[in-house]
Chain A
Amino acid sequence: MRRKALLGIGALAVAGLLGGCAFGGGGTAATSTPDGPVTLTFQSLAYQDSTVAATQKIVDDWNADNPDIQIDLVQGSWDNVHDQLVTQFQGDTAPDIIHDESSDIMGFANQGYLADISPYLSDDVKNAVSDEVWETVTTSDGAIVAAPTLLQSYVVFANTDAFSAAGVTVPDGDSLTWDDLQADAKQLTSNGNFGVGWGLKQPTAAVMNTALGFGGTFFDVADDGSATIDVGEGELAVPEKIHAMVYDDASLDPVSLTQSGSDVLPGFLGGKYAMYIGGNYLAQQITESAPAGFNWTVLPPLAGSDGAAQAANPQTMSVSAQSKYPEQAAKFIDYFMNPENQAALAQGDWLIPASSDARDVVAEQTADVPVWARILKSGENLSGAPFQKATNYPQWKDQYATPGLQQYFSNSIGLDDLKKQLTDGWNSIGG
């Protein structure tokens, strides 16, 4: 009898469980006007020593000048920023000011977690960034959910000594076609050394960004963030080229494809690879760890059939919709965006500022470093790409695109299978 009574009580309690608890994550905080100084949390993802220092300096300067709006800088990590933000938004513990990248945040924006900062940004900041790049951080209803800061492009680093040793001229000019890259790589491959090392452990971003050079746009995105996929020749041109270099020419090291960019770097510095493809941020690591007498340069931007276009996927600064002081937070972002600050950050990471004013400052400050001119130049070809606005892109990237590309690069599936996986995968997560 008693057991039955207990069971009954238990069942009732269980029935009441979910009712008592709204699941939907904290509501938008009522914005309030502060009586005294406010403290805002800013989570930065800067990780290279130089950029960490630059960020710290910006925050310190701001705090000294603005006693009423104090910024509390915390250090996050690119590695888990997405999971962390999902959890933080859900737990109502997100930082006020959020550093991320545009392809990652648009999903959060569609879920209502990011504040519209357009009313708070100054005209200077707005005018300095091209409409194309603003487009990557604007939702379908016109809200600007982030300020774009730094841009990355994929560049080819070259060991110039290896070129001269092999009697290959270092490419020059406005762009370098993928075919020329392939031909040079073949010539530079000899006795155990490879023409190219490319850390493609996470291949999707690289493929999505460079596909634009072949007109590969992958998605057609509707206003609500849903999208249809179309994988054709343009989309697959770069993977095909990589595959050919690995398996037909043996000029690209297959092991490097399974490693991260930093893992491959020692091979480039040690002479195993004559060329090294990766984000331009790797230049900072090359300058830091290159042995004395190591001569390197950046080759002209890689060009496909549609020119040297790559997708612009800027790093971003957003304000959480749960922040109590969005206006104050946006003010700091406006300050963060000024040309001097952006130029300092850009140089720390060897990335390209989204702001043209900041690019000018960088060009001026780095006039004596010729490689910088090439890096800034690669930024001219960056434009928006549809994948950034597709809400389910992060999930598709993890679950279908990355595994599919990895399998294709390890030669365990063919091009048709890859195409099918990419397409079916997108359709199975409901576009």
Chain B
Amino acid sequence: MTTATLAGTRSRRITRPLQYVALLAYIIFLGFPLLFLLITAFKTPQELQSPTPAFLPQQFNVDNFTAAIEKANLFQAAGNSLFVAVLTTVIVTVISLPAAYALARFRTRLRGIATGWILLSQVFPFILIIIPLFLVLKQIGLINNLFGLVLVYTVWSLPFALWMLQGYVVGVPAELEEAGAMDGASRFRVLRTIVLPLLAPGLVATSLFTFISSWNEFFFALVLIQDPRLQTLPLTLARFVGAEGQVQLGQLAAASLLATIPSLVFFALIQRRLTSGLMSGAVKG
């Protein structure tokens, strides 16, 4: 045993517990708010207003959930959110697929422009875009209209979807296509039978990601949707916070939990792919 590794084991004996302490601190910091949200959702108003609150709810009471659904019009909002997110996802996937293929395979000037735009679109504050966008949409009658929102979300999710997807295209070896072409298959056939199946995981990841970002979006919806019946979930929830009246912490927590579930589920589905697949795949080439 060399001195170096010996020193290593000795220092490890000291650092390991410290590492666990740090990890535990992170787990509390990251997890406690979520736990607390969960607990609050099951507490009765009396428990919430008690001057000496107990940490756990006395009983599992689902009144908050039913009340939130009814009062905040959660189902209607969820329906709107779902409509917008699904339609956006479909459109984005359909139009970004060919574009991503082009960006990945033909390294023209387009690629530079696209990269530039993707970065640029991050720098510009939305306030600069929203006012004229509002006017453009007004002229074509899409203010206060879910289709207008779909249009905006499509445009603003597109850069990322494109970028993510073209990463997957790069990951499909061009040699496969060449081989296919040599066998005499038509270009389209090559794409459909060889490239598309290999891209399937990438398409799933991209579309779920688009879904989540549409589902979560707030700013554009805030400005473009004024009819309470057309509100998306984040808008409805933000209103619910502001609503004066009784302290409705429990209902607020319940509504928040319900609204998080879809994106959490989808996220769980792509999480592995996002973190391992995309990361290691794209980073390591």
Interface of A toward B, CB cutoff 8 Å: 21, 23, 26, 43, 47-48, 74-80, 84, 87-88, 90-93, 260-263, 265-266, 269-270, 272, 285, 288-289
Contact = CB atoms under 8 A, between A and B. Distances in A.
A427 B49 CA distance: 44
Given A91-B138, A285-B245, 16 more contacts: A43-B228, A47-B243, A74-B227, A76-B228, A77-B228, A77-B242, A78-B244, A79-B242, A84-B226, A87-B134, A88-B226, A92-B138, A93-B226, A93-B227, A272-B51, A289-B246
A21 to B, nearest CB: 6
Interface in B115-152: 134-135, 138-139, 143-144
A289 to B, nearest CB: 6
Contact of B245 (A75, A91, A262, A269): A262
A265 B45 CA distance: 13
A47 B223 contact: no
B229 interface: yes
Contacts, number: 65
B239 A80 contact: yes
A74 B229 contact: yes
B146 to A, nearest CB: 13
Chain A CB count within 10 A is highest, among B51, B242, B243, B246, for B246
Contacts of A47: 243-245
A92 B144 CA distance: 10
Contacts of A84: 226
11 contacts: A74-B228, A75-B228, A78-B244, A80-B239, A87-B223, A90-B138, A93-B143, A262-B244, A265-B247, A269-B49, A272-B51
Contact of A91 (B144, B229, B244, B247): B144
Contacts of A79: 239, 242-244
Contacts of A91: 134, 138, 143-144, 226
B49 A266 contact: yes
B239 A93 contact: no
A88 B143 CA distance: 9
Interface residues of B, number: 21
Given A91-B134, A92-B138, A261 B228 contact: no
Contacts of A92: 138, 143
Nearest to A25: B138
A90 B226 CA distance: 12
A48 B245 contact: yes
Which 10 pairs show the lowest CB-CB distances between chains A and B? A79-B242, A91-B143, A266-B49, A93-B144, A77-B239, A88-B226, A75-B228, A270-B51, A91-B138, A47-B245
A63 B144 CA distance: 25
Contact of A289 (B45, B134, B244): B45
A415 B49 CA distance: 35
A89 B110 CA distance: 41
A256 to B, nearest CB: 14
B54 to A, nearest CB: 15
B226 A262 contact: no
B251 to A, nearest CB: 13
A80 B138 contact: no
B226 A77 contact: no
Contacts of B144: 88, 91, 93
B245 A90 contact: no
Contacts of B51: 266, 270, 272
B229 A262 contact: no
A75 B51 CA distance: 33
B147 to A, nearest CB: 14
A130 B113 CA distance: 66
B124 to A, nearest CB: 15
A270 B53 CA distance: 13
Contacts of A75: 228
Contacts of B135: 21, 23
Contacts of A23: 135
Contacts of B247: 262-263, 265-266
A80 B241 CA distance: 11
B226 A261 contact: no
